[in-house]
Structure 1
Amino acid sequence: MSTWLFLRRAGRRSAHLLLGCCWFGIFAFSLAARAQTSKPMIEYNLTPQAPNSHLITVTIRYKPMETTKVVDFALPAWRPGRYQIQNYARNVRDFTATDQSGRTLAWEKVDKSTWRVPCGGVREVRVAYAYYANTLDAGSTLWNDEELYWNGTNLLMYVVGQKDRPARLSLTIPQSWQCAYPLKKVGEPFVYEAPDYDTLADAPGIASPTLNLVRFDHAGTTYHLAFQGPVSLPLNELAGQVERIVAATVAMFGGKAPFADYWFLYHSLPGGRFHGVEHLNSTSITFPSSVFDERPQRFYAITAHEFFHAWNVKRIRPQGLGPFDYSREVHTRNLWVAEGVTSYYDDLLCRRAGVISVEDYLRAVATTIASQQRTPGRLVTPVTAASFDAWLTPDDSNVRVDFYTKGALVALLLDLDIRRRTGGAKSLDDAMRWLSATYAERGVGYPENGMQLAVEAVTGASYADFFARYVDGTDELPYGDYLEVVGVELIESRPAKQPKVSLGIELAGDERQTVIANVLPTEAGFQAGLDRGDILVALDGEQATMATLPALLMKRQPGEVVKVLVFRRGKLREFSVTLQPETRTDIQLRPVAAPSPTQARLYREWLGLIQPEP
């Protein structure tokens, strides 16, 4: 738990003490705070080795506050924001331990991520190790001849049982470099402090001679934007658009951000991909350098997504996500709230900020709906189960559900339904603010049914049936019924060049070898006996590949039987497939031609075209 959350929790508790106990509560809190600050710092240093070695030497100096027989140093096995075991210890080598005089101390590795140092009565334990850092994404660590980039959970060990100790981090890099790092700077050239390990580990940093920085102030908070890599737009123009997103988000949560500084750390990567990771008062984002020439909306959406996370998941969090146990999987059924609700708001906040048009926003929602409807697992796996099992990736792709996608669509339906039930007086915004006030401001996580409690609190109505069917169940989401609230209609159409029929399979490969990547359950290919891994050869005697199959199917009608030749485990096999109607369609959302006055008002309020009346 961060110091900020600790203080908020302590303050709320003391406010509820009886009058006769107030002075005792304040005195006790003062003693606790003094004990917290009097604990010796755990000191960290990062010293890069030769750039092409990609090795960073990490040193840690720890002073036990009392005599102890052993000290355990552990590296996280995962990082918050990515719910998969990463085993960062695989990149550690050359571990050593000494005491305050430099005398070598014995050590042993007791599990995959923990190093144990017997230390007797020594005053200080100093450990050093090299960390191999040659991966660049939003949650990784990289050292090369252009930059030092790090995420604390990757390479900074913690002292087991001492994560509440304050920490100091120094960098041994050229003084001429720029450094973007969200921790408090306490010394030159590069010395920073954190109130505890969780805060230290949560802070990503970039140090580079080519880092470009720009900043702006909004509502008492300074926002820093750091860009590593080429950017084709003027940075001030970019910062202006980001400020609009910041303003819309901060306004939604009451007009004041819960931090004095916030850092956007960007990597622009030629040929790269979009990836973002949220942190307490920062985010790290990678994006393709071509985005501003192709789809700038994607840049603003991921920026809005990660900034929204500063509230939703970093502060408004499920009970299981903090304080963190970095050694094992931590389960919650609410990743659909943490990630899915955030995914709903990223494009919506861009729309409210005026960064994207109404047309672009409706197109983005339509794309999300189409993606969900092409997912067979939507009929098998509830979004809460997908959240709980995020640590697992089923081999059977037909049971997978993306809690980002379905969570965003559930949030859409909830938002529209809250507006309908309250005549526009309330929205999902109010539910998020309720979660913030009820849990986050007290420094605690919400329970597993937290979102249901929130929407019921702001509407005064039961949502038991909704959650049973669409959150804990697998009923189809009735988009049209809910979009009607704001006068939007869902239109399905089949592209003219798309066949009317389907084999009920998904393909991978090219014209030389086309493989059946998936056979959709209960559909035509499954019923005929086709299987994943079959190599597609021919359809009715004509060569069938990814390139030629659509043209071959254009000639057919639903109900026709075709002969499909495949190679399976080296043997040629023939299957008779009864073609089914093609069910995949394009989806468009558009406002109805003649909305009612209520629909028109709710539509404008939903999209930020007008502000709702207080």
Structure 2
Amino acid sequence: MRHSFFLLPLFLFVFSLNAQTNTYTISFENAVHHEADVNVTFTNITSDTLEVRMSRSSPGRYALHEFAKNVYGLKATDGNGKVLNIYRKDPYSWFVSGHNGTVHIRYTLFANRGDGTYSQIDETHAHLNIPATFMYAPKLSDRKIEVNFNVRKDLNWKIATQLPLVSGTTYAAPNLQYFMDSPTEISDFGLREFMVDGQNIRFALHHNGTEEELDTYFEKVKKVVLEQQKVYGELPNFDYDTYTFLACYIPNASGDGMEHRNSTILTSTRSLAEGGMERNIGTVSHEFFHAWNVERIRPKSLEPFDFSKANMSGSLWFAEGFTSYYTNLILVRAGLITPEKYVEGLTGTFNYVWNSPARQFFNPIEMSYQAPFVDAATSVDPVNRENTFISYYSYGSMLGLALDLSLRKENRNLDDYMKLVWKTFGRTEKPYSITDLQKTLALYAGTDFSNSFFDNYIYNSKMPKYSELLGSVGVSLSQNPEMPYFGASVGKTKDGNGLVENNPFLDSPAYKARLTKGDIITQLNGKAFPKDQKFTEYIKSFPVGEAITVQFERFGEKNTTEVILEPDPAYSITLVEKSGLAPKKSVLKSRNDWLGSD
């Protein structure tokens, strides 16, 4: 979140007793049943009626979440304790009238999902995403805010948040935008800190592991922070000179990561002892990179964030996708994964993007527009995402790879382009447009280079020449023409028949054979569906070009079709050494420049 407040002199951020302040208190006596008691006070109200709302969206998410659904028992009184009239005209607003200039609101919040979007309250912690927790008054959004977290001392709870401390358990925010962007973890967490160029990087971890595990993991976190600093040449100027990781690696969490201006939420069910030491660090890398790219290098289309509706941006291929490209690149540069693991890890994302039929429908900008429908969004009606959507995370990640390797062939690199974008738009907190990104690339690499990249791959959905680009750093891109391809995921029903689990990919063998999601396959070539073998392994027993007779049931009716297997379009990405080739010294140098750390 970008806040114009922080472009003003720091002395304006003095919490004067005379300034108007909205005050909140939250208590957790009934945490065992996932409830919080919330009290809000608005004073010096000049209008006859005060509107209060629950947010419909959350910073970093783009879909609607309708947080009002978890609010009940709401009551309103004035400064003298008189019960006030409340009326509703929509599901997420309350209108309070008859007050004397002061309105006290009290309500119960139910919260039981610990991730980057929602809140979770139980006897292990109070994990609070602010829009999912607190009501607000739209007309009073410029006021300062103070919030008292009435912690459970019997549970040894402490508070971790990017909000500045006032005193005790009371914290402050300069305005609603900053408040809503300030998740808070209240638990018996462990804390580690280190200083980087005069700024404090804090890691608060709520987990069931040991202090030694936290120490080991924190060393990995430090390497990520320092490696990302090299990309941009400096850390952002964090407000209050502090950045806070808020990590919950506990069984009752839901896996997620969510960036904020001076903090990030990290949630996982994986403990450090059971895979989290290696598998959780990627989320740390992704979310911290957002401290530059999306929090301060900010799309115009998301500025300011609107809590009353879904927020749409065509820039997510850059904001999320380029961040995704750097996620594992940072890990290999920091020595946390090997070059071989990094390179081979590109395979899945590459195949997902390269082989998707969705590129004929949408370019990266239009894929970004789909975020309100896919970013933790829910719906009950079936969709055809297999054929119409490529995640802007993945699409942008592959475009970041292509741009980086293309620039390196010109003796440039993506790091220096990101530095230029940072200096132009991030450090100054001037929101950018897609045209701005194109112009900045033209300044860095030339107009022809920039126009070619944007015209072909951003405004259109062509694919770069990945074989040539990867070859320039000694990476092989290959297919197996003898590997058969069916074109749909097939699982098993309870009685051992096959079940088509997804919409078959457009123009795939299964698609051409008119199979569809939900079909139950009973026989293959006159034999019962193989019960003791995975379908993918079974298909490998047939040669490419083989016609398989498929008997299936749809809506209770028996049907027969013929699937003609085709060559698998999937690619493998490996270091060329694995195929017995020795890369030239110049190629190895290019690879080391790409994957190495200065």
The aligned counterpart of 2:418 is 432
Whether the aligned pair in 1 keeps the contact of 2:158 and 2:189 (CA below 8 Å) is yes
**2 CA distance for matches of 1:215 and 1:7?**
24
1:43 — aligned with what? 23
Query: Cα offset for 1:187?
Result: 0.9
For residue 103 of structure 1, give the secondary structure of its aligned residue in structure 2.
coil
* Worse-matched range after superposition: 383-392 or 354-363: 354-363
Q: Counterparts of 1:104-503 in structure 2 under 5 Å?
A: 104-119=83-98, 122-175=100-153, 176-188=156-168, 190-208=169-187, 210-231=188-209, 234-259=213-238, 260-270=241-251, 274-290=255-271, 292-294=273-275, 296-393=277-374, 395-397=383-385, 398-421=387-410, 423=411, 426-462=412-448, 463-493=450-480, 500-503=483-486
Letter in 2 for 1:137: D
Q: Match of 2:280, SS?
A: helix
Q: Distance in 1 between matches of 2:2 and 2:354?
A: 40
Contact 2:490–2:535 (8 Å) recurs in 1: no
What residue is the counterpart of 2:378 in the other structure? none
Go from structure 1 to structure 2 and tell me whether the alpha carbon gap of 1:548 and 1:484 turns closer, same or farther (over 3 Å shift): closer
Residue 142 of structure 1: how far off its partner (Å): 1.0
Aligned partner (choices 566, 571, 574) of residue 588 of structure 1: 574
Aligned CA distance change for structure 1 residues 597 and 441 (closer, same or farther; 3 Å): same
Task: Assess if the C-alpha contact under 8 Å between 2:231 and 2:418 holds in 1.
Answer: no
1:413 shift after superposition: 0.8
Distance of 1:182 and 1:58 partners within structure 2: 20
Give, as a single letter, the amino acid of the residue that structure 1 aligns with 2:436: G
Q: Give ranges in structure 1 of 5+ residues lacking alignment.
A: 12-28
Deviations along 1:446-472, one digit per CA (max 9) or x if unpaired, are: 013333222222112332232222223
**Is residue 2:555 matched to residue 1:576?**
no
d(CA) in 1 for partners of 2:452, 2:174? 44
Q: For the residues of structure 2 that align with 1:480 and 1:163, how far apart are their CA atoms?
A: 52
Q: Distance in 2 between matches of 1:128 and 1:380?
A: 49
TM-score normalised by L of structure 1: 0.88
Decide which of 592, 595, 598 is 1:607's aligned counterpart: 595
User: How far apart, in 1, do the equivalents of 2:74 and 2:310 lie?
Assistant: 26
Match of 2:377 in 1: none
Cα root mean square deviation, aligned: 2.6
Q: 2:82 aligns with which of 92, 99, 103?
A: 103
Aligned residues: 579
Query: CA offsets per residue over residues 253-280 of structure 1, 9 Å max, x none?
Result: 2234311111111111349663101111
Task: Choose 561-570 or 286-295, whichever is displaced more.
Answer: 286-295
**Contact 2:2–2:298 (8 Å) recurs in 1:** no
Pair 1:590–1:45, CA change in 2 (3 A): farther
Higher relative contact order (CA 8 A, sep 6+): 2
CA distance in 2, matches of 1:217, 1:481: 42
Equivalent position SS for 2:461 = coil
Change (3 A) 1:516 1:193: same
Q: 1:532 and 2:517 equivalent?
A: yes
Q: Deviations over 1:106-160 (max 9, x none)?
A: 111222211111245x232111111111112232211112211101011112211
Counterpart CA distance in 2 for 1:368 and 1:589 is 17
Whole-angstrom CA distance in 2 between matches of 1:454 and 1:164: 34
1:70-89 to 2 correspondences below 5 Å? 70-89=49-68
> Is the CA contact (8 Å cut-off) linking 2:346 and 2:573 kept in structure 1?
no
Contact 1:370 1:587 in 2 (8 A): no
Taking the aligned partners of 2:317 and 2:325, their CA distance within structure 1 comes to 11
Q: Distance in 1 between matches of 2:582 and 2:536?
A: 39
User: d(CA) in 2 for partners of 1:363 and 1:420?
Assistant: 22
- The one-letter code sitting in structure 2 at the alignment partner of 1:92 is V
Which residue type is aligned with residue 472 of structure 1? Y
- Residues 477 and 298 (structure 1), Cα distance of their counterparts in 2 relative to 1, 3 Å cut: farther
Q: Per the alignment, do residues 558 and 598 of structure 1 end up closer, same or farther by CA in structure 2, a change over 3 Å counting?
A: closer
Measured after TM superposition, the shift of residue 568 of structure 1 is 0.7
Using structure 2 for the length normalisation, give the TM-score: 0.90
Whole-Å Cα distance in 1 between the matches of residues 249 and 275 of structure 2? Answer: 14
Name whichever of 407-416 and 599-608 sits farther off: 599-608
Identity of aligned residues (%): 26
Q: Deviations over 1:371-405 (max 9, x none)?
A: 33453324433221110121125811211111111
Q: Per-residue deviation at 1:318?
A: 0.6
CA distance in 2, matches of 1:508, 1:53: 38
* Superposed displacement of residue 292, structure 1: 4.9
Residues 267 and 346 of structure 1, relative CA distance in 2, 3 Å threshold = same
Does 177-186 or 303-312 show the bigger shift?
Answer: 177-186
Most deviating of 526-535 and 406-415: 526-535
Contact 1:367 1:587 in 2 (8 A): no
2:528 to 543, 548, 568: 543
Q: SS of 2:318's equivalent? A: helix
CA contact (8 A) 1:168 1:194 kept: yes
Whether 1:90 and 2:79 are equivalent positions in the alignment is: no
CA distance in structure 2 between the aligned counterparts of 1:606 and 1:508, rounded to whole angstroms: 40
Task: Report the Cα distance in structure 2 between the residues aligned to 1:100 and 1:156, rounded to whole angstroms.
Answer: 20
